[in-house]
Amino acid sequence: MSSQNPVQEVVSQPYKYGFITDIETEKIDKGINEDVIRLISSKKEEPKFLLEFRLRAYRQWLKMKEPDWAKFGYKSIDYQDIIYYAAPKKDQKKASLDEVDPKLLETFDKLGIPLSEQKRLSNVAVDAVFDSVSIATTYKEKLAESGVIFCSIGEAVNEYPDLVEKYLGTVVPSNDNFFAALNSAVFSDGSFVFIPKDVQCPMELSSYFRINSGDIGQFERTLIIAEERSSVSYLEGCTAPMFDTNTLHAAVVELVALDDSSIKYSTVQNWYSGNEEGIGGIYNFVTKRGHCRGDRSKISWSQVETGSAITWKYPSCVLQGQDSVGEFYSVALTNNLQKADTGTKMLHVGPRTRSTIVSKGISAGNSTNSYRGLVQMGPKAKGARNYSQCDSMLIGDQAAANTYPYIRSQQTEANIEHEASTCRISEDQLFYLQSRGVGQEEAVSMMVSGFCRDVFNQLPMEFAAEADKLLALKLEGSVG
């Protein structure tokens, strides 16, 4: 059946970001212990509080068990066989872009993220992270004019230690879960954003993560703080070369929104997902959480997940401030033997908090695509509301779509509404479009993109088109 299914055939195409940059890299030895953590910390010239934070997390991690409740059944990871720090060899951080190794600039060029002055996007500031290190951040000066801090977290640790110490680990405690603890112990680099009071960030901020070395783990850490009445829109993108081993990516993202502020966090994730036999690919075990600490604050997560062999990711909102708002818009496309278990948690703590969840899962090939979400109305969440919608689209009869929406309420004056549906692209629909002259591939991607429209509409404009293109690419291939 699957060989005759045109839809099925349209969904496979080679990974186009799979190249490796040939660059001299400084790596430390494989394995993890307290000395490794001290070494990472000293290489990054970190203050004492951070070393202590790392060591505390490491000791907690040692006592924790790797979770298996999502039943992925992957071969257990040998944590002593991973390199926890790798960086391009030349001096790590450059004062200006001219000093950055041209090979790196070329790499990002090839990935569609030009960094050099002439080519860079006019209204997007980019922090480019290569393996464990941030190699460049564009538009820093321009942002500084309005008081916005946008830099690598390594830089922030040295330049704004008070801010980092005040907020780091307050949303995702170092012992939150197995992978968050590991990240807290060994995190390499990532982005730091601080928007001061009353500032609307003048441009989109973006981090681009590139894993280049095959045997390193990527443990970036992102911290975004929006002070009272400020707002920011942030986008992260990710790619990695093709290796036949599995690379671990265990990031932690923490967002803090104070009174009347708003943070919009978008992700276009296109890590290498392994080949058709399921060999290689990234294990993407990520903890993302936003804390609506202030009244009327708002945190909005949008994600387009297309890559990784295994994804384990639940961008969440703790809605504490009264009238605060949480949103989650997600498209997850899985193909071949990919497994994605993604969703969100909306924890309604404060009164009149509101949340919206829109999740679109597309599973093709032999993949498994699961939505797992929790909506919880706490005892004080009077007048809180949630609306969730999760739709699945199945392509081919070997793909699986699972839905696990957990709902818990302890508040009579709260409303929760959940709707879900499952559909496929029917031959009739395809035929209808084709009979109007639309090519098969185009017809499939039109329908997939129509299915995802609600989510794409939430992405920043520059990236909505990119996401649409990415899905189309993923769906591209020979029509038999």
Partner 1 sequence: MSAPEWLVSLPAPYGVLESVQRRGRQYLASLGLPDFAEESWRLCDLARLEALLKLPVSSQQTDVHDYGQDKWPRPQSESLRVVLDPFRDPLESISLPNGITPLTSEELEQTLGHTLDVCECNATWPIAINHACAMNVLALKVDGSDLPPLELVINARPSELSATRVVLVLEENARLDLLQVVLGSRHSAHSHLLEIHLGQEASLNHGWVALGGGDASLMAHLAVEQETRSNYELTSVQQGWLFGRLEPRLVQVNGQAKTVLRGLQIASKSEQLATHSFVRFDGPEGDLDQLQKAVASDSSHSIFNGAIDVPRAAQRTNAAQLSRNLLLSGRARIDTKPELQIVADDVRCAHGATVSQLQQDELFYMRSRGISSDRSMKLLLQGYCQEIIKCLPINGERWTLLDQLVSV
CB contact set of 39 (below 8 Å; sequence gap of 6+):
28, 85
Q: What is the DSSP letter of 81?
A: G
109 vs 336: CA distance, rounded Å: 29
- Tokens representing 245 are 């081993």
269, 349, 397 from 339: Cα distances, Å: 14, 32, 16
**Residue 400 beta carbon to partner 1: minimum distance, rounded to whole angstroms:** 4
Rg of the chain, C-alpha, whole Å: 22
Residue 419 within binding range of partner 1, rule CB under 8 A: yes
Count of residues binding partner 1 (CB under 8 A)?
36
254 vs 287: CA distance, rounded Å: 8
**Residue 412 beta carbon to partner 1: minimum distance, rounded to whole angstroms:** 5
Give the pairing type, strands 86-88 and 25-27.
antiparallel
Q: Which residues inside 231-260 make contact with partner 1, applying CB under 8 A?
A: none
Q: What is the DSSP letter of 176?
A: S
Write phi, then psi, for 461 (nearest 5 degrees): -50, -45
Taking residue 89's Cβ as centre, other Cβ atoms within 10 Å add up to 12
468 vs 130: CA distance, rounded Å: 25
User: Which of 414, 472 has the CB closer to partner 1?
Assistant: 414
Alpha helices in 126-176 (DSSP H): 140-145, 153-159, 161-167
Buried b (16+ CB within 10 A) or exposed e, 12-46: beebebeeebebebebbeeebeeebbeebbebbeb
User: Which of 70, 185 has the CB closer to partner 1?
Assistant: 70
CB contact set of 221 (below 8 Å; sequence gap of 6+):
153, 168, 183, 184, 187, 188, 189, 190, 251, 252, 253, 254
263 vs 438: CA distance, rounded Å: 39
* Position among 36, 126, 255, 377 found at the interface with partner 1 (CB under 8 A): 377
User: Which of 218, 334 has the CB closer to partner 1?
Assistant: 334
**Residue 326 beta carbon to partner 1: minimum distance, rounded to whole angstroms:** 17
User: Which of 2, 200 has the CB closer to partner 1?
Assistant: 2
User: Which of 156, 395 has the CB closer to partner 1?
Assistant: 395
User: Which of 112, 379 has the CB closer to partner 1?
Assistant: 379
141, 330, 358 from 458: Cα distances, Å: 28, 10, 10
* Position among 20, 62, 423, 465 found at the interface with partner 1 (CB under 8 A): 423
Three-state DSSP class for 15? Answer: coil
Residue 350 within binding range of partner 1, rule CB under 8 A: no
358 vs 222: CA distance, rounded Å: 24
336 vs 174: CA distance, rounded Å: 34
**Residue 422 beta carbon to partner 1: minimum distance, rounded to whole angstroms:** 4
Residue 123 within binding range of partner 1, rule CB under 8 A: no
Residue 335 within binding range of partner 1, rule CB under 8 A: no
Q: Which residues inside 61-100 make contact with partner 1, applying CB under 8 A?
A: 69
Q: Which residues inside 197-236 make contact with partner 1, applying CB under 8 A?
A: none
**Residue 373 beta carbon to partner 1: minimum distance, rounded to whole angstroms:** 10
Residue 365 within binding range of partner 1, rule CB under 8 A: no
Residue 444 in contact with residue 473, Cβ under 8 Å? Answer: no
Residue 429 within binding range of partner 1, rule CB under 8 A: no
**Residue 440 beta carbon to partner 1: minimum distance, rounded to whole angstroms:** 17
User: Which of 158, 356 has the CB closer to partner 1?
Assistant: 356
User: Which of 276, 427 has the CB closer to partner 1?
Assistant: 427
Residue 411 within binding range of partner 1, rule CB under 8 A: yes
The one segment of 33-41, 93-101, 415-423, 453-461 that binds partner 1 by CB under 8 A? 415-423
**Residue 251 beta carbon to partner 1: minimum distance, rounded to whole angstroms:** 27
User: Which of 291, 424 has the CB closer to partner 1?
Assistant: 424
**Residue 399 beta carbon to partner 1: minimum distance, rounded to whole angstroms:** 7
* Position among 33, 42, 421, 457 found at the interface with partner 1 (CB under 8 A): 421
Residue 414 within binding range of partner 1, rule CB under 8 A: yes
Residue 473 within binding range of partner 1, rule CB under 8 A: no
Residue 424 within binding range of partner 1, rule CB under 8 A: yes
Closest CA to 319 of 222, 418, 411: 411
User: Which of 227, 391 has the CB closer to partner 1?
Assistant: 391
Residue 346 within binding range of partner 1, rule CB under 8 A: no
**Residue 418 beta carbon to partner 1: minimum distance, rounded to whole angstroms:** 4
234 vs 192: CA distance, rounded Å: 11
- Tokens representing 441 are 């591939």
Binding mask 391-410 for partner 1 (x = CB under 8 A): -x-xxxxxxxxxxxxxxxxx
User: Which of 303, 392 has the CB closer to partner 1?
Assistant: 392
Positions in the binding site for partner 1 (CB under 8 A)? 69, 377, 379, 392, 394-424, 426
